[in-house]
Amino acid sequence: MLRQSVAMVSTQFGIPLIETHWNTERSNPRISINVHPDHDAFGQALFEYLSDYEKWRRMVIVLENYEITPAYFKENC
pTM tops 0.85:
no
Burial 25-53 (b: 16+ CB within 10 A, else e): eeeeeeeeeeeeeebbeebbebbeeeeee
Is there a contact between 36 and 6 (Cβ–Cβ < 8 Å)? no
Residue 4 is predicted with a pLDDT of 86
Residue 69 burial (C-beta neighbours within 10 Å; 0-12, 13-18, 19+): middle
What is the mean pLDDT, run by run of 10 residues, along the chain of 77 residues?
A: 83 83 64 69 83 85 66 62
